Amino acid sequence: MCSPPTVAGRKLGIPRELTVLIIVIVVCCMYDTYNKTLQGKAMAITKETIWHAANELDQAGEKPTLANVRKKVGGGSFTTISEAMTEWHATRPRSAVKRDPVPEKVSDAAAEFTAMLWQVAHELADGRLQAEQAELERLRAQFEEEKVEAAAFADQLNQELETEKQKTLDLGKTHAALAAQYAELKSGYEQERARAERLQAVSDEREKSIETLKEELKHVRADKEREFERLESALKGKEKAKGA
């Protein structure tokens, strides 16, 4: 394991806020994985796209926070944006540490050389220490800034998660309502089909009865016609008998 960083022989303990930030980042990564699974796709955003968005925000006078950059590029993974922004911050120009020039007395007076050199060495050491302390303060300020950004980004992701959960619940309710409606319509359809089958059976039976009645009527008409012809023939025979 690596030893804790030191400044002028003093160990720097890991702040509690850094542990909280790591937990927030882990939670955000877990949500990012969940969001990718739920949506079935992930936005492909390159490091150059993220840097370009950060530069545009910085030129426009807006702070290139994680949330602002994500909004600028139209979405994306927290892990991808965070890694790209870490590199972006690292590439930002830093102010050079100013060091006092070597006094001219060092070259002019050999007798004062050792004392002057010792004094200059102390001044340079103090200057480096002040530069390191200034850099440490800058890093701490950047850490605090990124911590606030991470918290805001986590809140944004939490709101999006709640929105997706609500959408899922609404879809579940809609699906249940449609399933109930479908079951009701299917039951009504089955009842109507059974009724239509019964009516068709009655219609077929009536059709058979009508055909049977037609045949019987045909036979009755034939019998009546034969009876009429017999009576007519008998009547004609009687009339001939009277005429004779």
CA 112 to chain centre: 73
32-41, 78-87, 147-156: range with lowest mean pLDDT: 32-41
70-79, 94-103, 113-122: range with lowest mean pLDDT: 94-103
Query: What pLDDT was estimated at residue 132?
Result: 80
Q: In one letter, which amino acid is 58? A: D
Residue 32 has pLDDT above 80, yes or no: no
Residue 177 has pLDDT above 80, yes or no: yes
Instruction: Give 102-106 contacts, CB < 8 A, sequence gap 24+.
Output: none
Q: What does the alpha-carbon distance between residue 155 and residue 53 come to, in Å, rounded to a whole number?
A: 22
Q: What does the alpha-carbon distance between residue 81 and residue 157 come to, in Å, rounded to a whole number?
A: 14
2-11, 39-48, 55-64: range with lowest mean pLDDT: 2-11
Q: Which range among 1-10, 67-76, 92-101 has the greatest average pLDDT?
A: 67-76
Residue 97 has pLDDT above 60, yes or no: no
45-49, 74-78, 133-137: range with lowest mean pLDDT: 74-78
Residue 27 has pLDDT above 70, yes or no: no
Choose between 236 and 124: higher pLDDT. Answer: 236
Choose between 185 and 106: higher pLDDT. Answer: 185
Query: What pLDDT was estimated at residue 51?
Result: 92
Contact by Cβ (8 Å): 142, 63: no
Q: What does the alpha-carbon distance between residue 71 and residue 25 come to, in Å, rounded to a whole number?
A: 18
For 162-222, what is the HEC assignment?
A: HHHHHHHHHHHHHHHHHHHHHHHHHHHHHHHHHHHHHHHHHHHHHHHHHHHHHHHHHHHHH
Mean pLDDT, range 113-142, rounded to an integer = 75
